[in-house]
């Protein structure tokens, strides 16, 4: 189940771990994130898509939604990725994504399977969005954030890009992610 947890941005790790607000209600999550400029939607799942489907099948199954997102004119490139607990680079990838960073473009993801934890550092708050199957998240360019896929990642996602090079990050050097709960 999708979950939003809001924390204060504080330097004390004990205080940082105390949530200010939590919600599992998709409508409330959508509203709270929208108030902060973050897009969140629940997309219908494709029951005809078997678990473990390859990238081509995922792209085909969600062609209508992809077309709708691309119609905004911002995302000419889309791909489907899959990361499992046996991925040889999972430890290095997790560590890289756990470092706070920004992007020069919106970060847009749709979770086809599994889950991942997006952590957004907005003003004096840290918002943790546990995205699960069926969740679409749009994080505006320049938003400080990090992502935790867990120690045994298991997800498939659509990624939308403005930049044909794909995922390009500017790391902030802030160790803020160390003060907040991780996925597992």
* pLDDT single digits (tens) 137-159: 999 999 999 999 999 999 999 99
Contact predicate 41/110, CB 8 Å: no
Residue 100 has pLDDT above 80, yes or no: yes
Contact predicate 78/111, CB 8 Å: no
Looking at residue 166, its pLDDT comes to 63
Residue 1 has pLDDT above 80, yes or no: yes
- What is the maximum span of the chain, computed from C-alpha positions, in angstroms? 47
What digits encode the pLDDT tens for the residues 43-71?
999 888 888 899 999 999 999 999 999 99
Contact predicate 112/158, CB 8 Å: yes
In the chain, % helix, strand, coil (3-state, to 5) comes to 20, 35, 40
Which residue intervals of 71-138 are DSSP H helices? 90-98
- 49 Cβ neighbours under 8 A, 6+ residues apart: 57, 58, 61, 112
Contact predicate 170/153, CB 8 Å: no
Looking at residue 14, its pLDDT comes to 76
Q: Identify the helix (H) or strand (E) that includes residue 59.
A: helix 55-61
Distance CA 121, CA 128 (A): 9
Residue 135 has pLDDT above 70, yes or no: yes
For residues 82, 108, 35, 18, the Cα torsion angle rounded to the nearest 10 degrees is 40
Contact predicate 141/104, CB 8 Å: yes
Q: Which CATH number fits domain 3-177: 3.40.50.10540, 2.40.50.1020, 3.40.462.20, 2.60.120.10?
A: 2.60.120.10
Distance CA 104, CA 165 (A): 12
Question: In this prediction, what percent of the chain has a pLDDT beyond 70?
Answer: 98
Phi, psi of 159 (to 5 degrees): -120, 130
Q: Where are the domains of the chain?
A: 3-177
Q: What is the pTM of this model?
A: 0.93
60 DSSP assignment? H
């Amino acid at each position: 189940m999708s979950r939003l947890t809001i924390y204060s941005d504080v330097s004390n790790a004990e205080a940082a771990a105390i949530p200010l607000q939590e919600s599992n209600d998709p409508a409330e999550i959508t509203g709270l994130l929208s108030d902060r400029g973050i897009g969140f939607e629940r997309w219908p799942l494709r029951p005809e898509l078997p678990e473990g489907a390859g990238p081509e099948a995922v792209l085909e199954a969600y062609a209508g939604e992809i077309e709708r997102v691309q119609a905004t004119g911002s995302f000419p490139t889309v791909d489907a990725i899959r990361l499992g607990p046996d991925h040889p680079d999972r430890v290095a990838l997790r560590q890289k994504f756990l470092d706070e960073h920004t992007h020069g473009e919106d970060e847009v993801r749709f979770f086809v399977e599994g889950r991942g934890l997006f952590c957004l550092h907005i003003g004096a708050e840290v918002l943790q969005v546990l995205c699960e199957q069926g969740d679409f998240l749009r994080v505006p360019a320049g938003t400080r954030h990090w992502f935790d896929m867990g120690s045994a990642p298991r997800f498939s996602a659509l990624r939308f890009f403005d930049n044909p090079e794909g995922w390009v990050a500017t790391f902030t050097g802030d160790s803020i992610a160390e003060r907040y709960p991780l996925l597992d």
